Amino acid sequence: GTHLIDAHVEDSLLKIVDKGTGSERYRHNATVLAAYNLMSCFWTFETGKLYKLSQPDNIYSGLGEDELASRNSDSKKTTQIARQQALARADCIVQTFGGVRVVTLSGDPATSLFSKYEHFFDVIFLGINVSQHLPQVSKLLKPDGAYLHVEAAKFFVPLTIQQRRLYAQKIHAMATIANLKPTYKLQSAPLQDDPAVTELLGECPTAPLDLDLRILSYSSASSLSSDD
């Protein structure tokens, strides 16, 4: 909930007010951003459309699209419109998740629970608190064309900038050893000299170019270029 999944609303929802007064603050807190993220996801699931705000600072202002039913004075017609809207949303949800299966895994990746999913997943997401398990979890990806998304440390407040850079380097190092290809651009020199990272990377000391990344994404596709 500390960042927005939709870049097109960042200017309005991440607005800083009272600039230059010594009491600058964000217009919205993390709870509001989390609520927006959830509404945006569910709106897309239900309608197949991008969630758009009619009022820049009001996260609920994009919910007015289906108000026609509630504003109509004819109760019979209102019921009919509401039914049509509900059926359309239900159909969109079915289409959105058709053929999709979500599996949540916890515990030690070395256990039999994980081994039965070897080469099983098309997409895997790792939170920052379990990112150290990347080498083991990468074995659960399908061998070609699957994606591994690892949460970056951009919003991990306790870490310094240098620690966040080192974290990105180590994630990239583990992904390199696992033969995964980054989907982001690289730079040829390490951002911070660290023996552990150098040892992992060997003769290829590369690291993420964009330190503002929220997600570090990799693919098992052998032909994928980092420029893609």
Output the pLDDT for position 64.
64
Q: Is the dihedral of CA 27, 32, 37, 39 positive or negative?
A: negative
- Whether 120 and 140 have beta carbons less than 8 Å apart is answered as yes
> What does residue 224 show for φ and ψ, rounded to 5 degrees?
-70, 135
Output the pLDDT for position 197.
55
Task: Tell me which H or E stretch contains 212.
Answer: none
Q: For 81, how many CA atoms within 13 A lie in the half-sphere containing its CB?
A: 14
Residue 153 and residue 200: Cα distance in Å, rounded?
20
Output the pLDDT for position 201.
53
- Whether 66 and 43 have beta carbons less than 8 Å apart is answered as no
Q: Where are the beta strands (DSSP E) in 133-224?
A: 147-151, 181-182, 186-187, 207-208, 215-219
Estimate to the nearest angstrom the gap between the alpha carbon of 102 and the chain centroid. 15
Output the pLDDT for position 228.
44
Per-residue pLDDT tens digits of the chain, which is 228 residues long: 456 667 778 888 888 888 888 888 888 888 888 888 888 888 888 888 888 888 888 888 887 655 554 555 567 777 787 788 888 888 888 888 888 888 888 777 777 667 788 899 999 999 888 899 999 999 999 988 899 999 888 777 777 877 888 888 888 889 988 999 988 776 654 445 556 555 555 544 555 656 667 788 899 876 444 444
- Whether 69 and 78 have beta carbons less than 8 Å apart is answered as yes
Output the pLDDT for position 141.
92
Dihedral of CA atoms 127, 131, 134, 137 in degrees, nearest 10, equals -40
Residue 201 and residue 8: Cα distance in Å, rounded?
36
Residue 83 and residue 99: Cα distance in Å, rounded?
26
Residue 134 and residue 149: Cα distance in Å, rounded?
10
Output the pLDDT for position 148.
94
Output the pLDDT for position 138.
92
DSSP secondary structure, 85-125, as one string: HHHHHHHHHHHHTTT-------S-TTSHHHHTTTT-BSEEE
Output the pLDDT for position 149.
93
